Amino acid sequence: MALHHVGQSRARPLARGREAVAYGKVGLDLETAHTPDQATAITVREAVLSLPDRLRVTVLLHYFADLTVAQVAAQLGKSEGAVKRDLWEARGKLAVILEGAR
């Protein structure tokens, strides 16, 4: 399932601090994300939004904004290893959440 089609609801504000700065730097417009299968998009959006801030921001920057691991690390002030760990953890959590949504 492609996470780059994920949008974000206005009900959930952007993370504060470095994460909020990172969103602005890459110019994410999460409100305009569209996909042909709206039900799937809503399910994926809800799953991503349910992630802890640390994981959600990393997923959105890497998959939605198409930043490389190195670019995400630079934006968030983390090591590449920390970004890879966060992506691995997020994919595991998303798999569990989305499997339960079937």
Question: 30-78 pLDDT, tens per residue?
Answer: 555 555 567 777 788 889 999 999 999 999 999 989 999 999 999 999 9
Q: What is the CATH number of the domain that holds 95?
A: 1.10.10.10
Q: Is 79 exposed, middle or buried (0-12, 13-18, 19+ CB in 10 A)?
A: exposed
What pLDDT, on the 0 to 100 scale, is given for residue 86? 97
Question: 88-101 pLDDT, tens per residue?
Answer: 999 999 999 888 87
Nearest to 91 by CA among 58, 65, 66: 58
Number of domains in the chain: 1
Nearest to 61 by CA among 92, 82, 41, 40: 82
Domain that holds residue 54: 3-100
Q: Record the pTM.
A: 0.64
- DSSP code at position 63: I
Spell out the alpha helix ranges (H) of the chain: 18-26, 38-49, 53-59, 69-76, 80-100
